[in-house]
Chain A
Amino acid sequence: MKDGLVYALCGICLALAYPIANSIRPTIEQGPVGLTQEQNEALEEKAQASLLGQFRGSMSDFLYLQVDKFVHEGVEIRGKTESELKKDKESVTSGDGVETGARQHNGTETTVVPGKKEDWRGILGDIERQVKTYKPMGGHGHRDPKDALHIYRLMTASNPKFIRGWTEGAWLMARKKEVGAEKALAFLREGEKANPESIEIASSLGWLLTRDLKRYDEGRTPLERAIALGKLRDPQTLTTDDEEALVSAYRFLVNNRRYAKDIPAARRWALDGQARFPDDPTCRKFLEEYPAENQN
C-alpha cells in the first residue's frame, strides 16, 4: 500500500515535470555563450581597423615630429622643465622672423643635448656634442619648411584623419611659388573629403579661396560651413585647434563679405562672431567701422 503510494507520487511528479520545466525554461535558460560567427568577424575587422588606426596615428605623429627636426637641420629640441625655466637654462631662440613660416620659439625650449656649460659629463658630453646633430640654437635660422612638403604628403597619405597635416601642408603649398594656391586648394579638397566634419579644414579652404585666390563667393561656402559645424558641436568638446579655426572662420568670412562688397552680410557675421567671441578684434573693428546706422 505504502509502496503503491510512493510509486503513484513519483508518477505524478514525472508527469508534472515536463510542463513545469517548459514553463520555467524561458526564465532560466542561458542564451548562446560567446559571439556568433558574423559577430566574431565584425569584431575581428574592428580589431584590425583599430590596430591599423593606431599605426596610422603613430606614423603621422612621427612624421610631424620629423618636420620639426627637419627645419632645425636635425637638432632636437625639447620644452624646458619648471626648474630649468627658473634657472634660466640656455634657450632656443629664433634668428629669423615669422615670415619664414617656421615655428617661432619663445624661450621655453632648449636642446636635447645640453650645451657645454650646463653639462656635467665632461668628455662624454663633448663626444655627444660631436656625434649628434647638435649646435647652439640661440638666434638660430631655419631650413625652409616648404621643403618639408613631401613629408606632409606622406603624413596625410599614412593617416588621412590627421587634420594638421592637411591644413599646414596646404598653407606651405600656397606659399611655395612652384606649387601654388591651386594645388593647395586641391590638397585641401582631398582633406575635406576624408574629414567632412572638420572645422579646421573648412576654415582653411575659406581662407585660401578668400586671401590667395580672391574667389570670394566660392570661399563663402566653406567658411559658413565651418561656422555651422562649430555651432553644431558642444563647446566643451571643441579642441584649441577647433576653437582657433572657428574664430578664424568668422574673421575670414567678415573680410570675405567685406571684399565682396556685401556689407550687410559682413555685419551679420561680425555680430554673430562677436556674440560667440566677444573679444575678437576683427569683428569688433568691423562693427566700429560699419555701425548699424551707416547701413541705411
Chain B
Amino acid sequence: MRAELQRVLFVGFLAAFSPWTLATFAQQPEVPVKVVQIMGLTGVKNKTGGKLTVDGGNLHFVHGAAKVDVATASMEDVVTGADSQRIIHGTLGSIGLMAAPYGSGRFLSLFRSKLDTLTVKYRDADGGLHGVIFMMPVGKAEVIKKELLAQGAHTTAPEEAANAGASSPAAKEQKQ
C-alpha cells in the first residue's frame, strides 16, 4: 500500500515538473502583464501605463477605468522586438546584440535591453490600418504574441529562431 502511494506520488511529481507541463504553464498569461502603451491605441494617450491580457479572442488594455479591446482576428501582424532584431541582423546578429551593451552599436534598438516591445498592426471596422507599440519586461512579449497567434492573429515574422538559435554554432560552442 505504501509502495503504491509512493509510486503515485512519484508519477505525479514527474508529471507536474516535466518540461512539457512547465512549458504549458509558462505560455499562459493568466496574470495581466504590466505594459506601457507607447503609441497607436485609439483613445489612449501616448506613453500610458496599463495592464494587458489576451482572452476570448481579444487583446485587452486596461488603464484605470478605461478599457480598450482589439480583436485578435483583426491583427495582421504581431512582431516582438526580438523578431525585429532577427529580421534585421539574422539569428547570429541577434545573439551578438543581446551580448552587446547598450550603446555599443545597437543603433536600431529603440528601447533598453531590459524592456521588450510588442508591435501590433490591426484593421478597424472601416478597414483602416492601425499600429500599436507596447513596451514590457523582457520575455513577456513572446508569451503574449503566442497567445495572440493562438487566438487568430497573424505575423509576418519568420518562424521563431529559438530552435535555430539552439542549433547555431554559437549555441553549440556554449553547450560544449
Partners in one complex: no
Using a CB–CB distance below 8 Å, which chain A residues touch chain B?
Answer: none
